[in-house]
Structure 1
Amino acid sequence: MKPESIGIINTHNAEQYTWGNGCAGWHLVKSDALSIIQERMPPGTAEVKHFHQRSRQFFFVLAGEATMEIGAEQIVLKAGDGVEIPPLVAHQLRNDSTTDLHFTVTSVPKSHGDRVVIPQ
């Protein structure tokens, strides 16, 4: 069986979307039960602070450096680092560095439609 016939997925053939100020995401797995997205965030960009009612997420840095605010705590994630965010926990991912941030976010179940933005 050729690899193409078993559904190889990557950023060249995955469904892509843009968000924020020049950020991009690729749906590597997109189902109601599981979402795996690879994302790119340019320097100085951030998502809004929010939480998910049902979704548990795992962020994994592929390249660059991420600043993750979890509740009142901030941690820095470098390539090869990951962090799990349980449901109902406020969080915000930022790229405070001078280079692009590349990471994956795995959500169980999918996080789209489950986000509650925290007013700033």
Structure 2
Amino acid sequence: MDIVNLNDAEPFTTKDGSEIRELLAHRNSAIQAQSLAEARLPPGASTTAHYHPKTEEIYYITHGQGRMQIGEELRDVSVGDAIAIPPGLVHQITNTGEDTLRLLCCCAPGYEHEDTVLLDL
């Protein structure tokens, strides 16, 4: 049985610039086809605009508020919002609040730096 507590997950910075704590993935569990991580962005920070050629993502906001851009669409997001990000769509999230923005990121297949293409918008 694989159980990882958020407090025990080592943080690292993804290619898009967010700090994540990978909870379950092929690197630390029996999970092979997806990954679950918590990402954190300080107030005023944004991820670098990017897309994933292969990976679909779900973001689920657990703390704070932000502005999500997927393609040309821009929406405000807050606690309880789940965001669908299909493969190949350029996306970026910005923390618009005064507290750290925290979100769960589900990726299928699991997150890999190699499947992240950064853009300069």
- 1:65 Cα offset (Å): 0.6
- The answer for the alignment partner of 1:3 in structure 2 is none
Q: Report the RMSD for the aligned CA atoms in angstroms.
A: 1.9
- The answer for the alignment partner of 2:29 in structure 1 is none
- The answer for the alignment partner of 2:118 in structure 1 is 117
Residues 100-119 of structure 1, C-alpha deviations (whole Å, 9 max, x = no match): 11111100002311011123
- The answer for the alignment partner of 2:60 in structure 1 is 60
- The answer for the alignment partner of 1:17 in structure 2 is 12
- The answer for the alignment partner of 1:101 in structure 2 is 101
- Residues 49 and 119 in structure 2, CA contact (< 8 A), matched pair in contact too: yes
Q: Tell me how far apart the structure 2 counterparts of residues 16 and 118 of structure 1 sit (CA, whole Å).
A: 24
- In structure 2, the gaps of 5 or more residues are 27-31
Q: Tell me how far apart the structure 1 counterparts of residues 69 and 106 of structure 2 sit (CA, whole Å).
A: 17
Residues 36-60 of structure 1, C-alpha deviations (whole Å, 9 max, x = no match): 1101111011111111100000000
Q: Tell me how far apart the structure 1 counterparts of residues 50 and 85 of structure 2 sit (CA, whole Å).
A: 11
Task: Work out the number of aligned pairs and report it.
Answer: 114
- Residues 46 and 94 in structure 1, CA contact (< 8 A), matched pair in contact too: yes
- In structure 1, the gaps of 5 or more residues are 1-5
> Higher Cα Rg: structure 1 or 2?
1
Alignment of 1:28-67 (within 5 A): 28-31=23-26, 32-67=32-67
TM-score scaled by structure 1?
A: 0.85
% identical aligned pairs:
28
Give the ranges of 4+ consecutive aligned residues of structure 1 lying more than 6 Å apart after TM superposition.
none
Query: 97-106 or 54-63: which moved more?
Result: 97-106
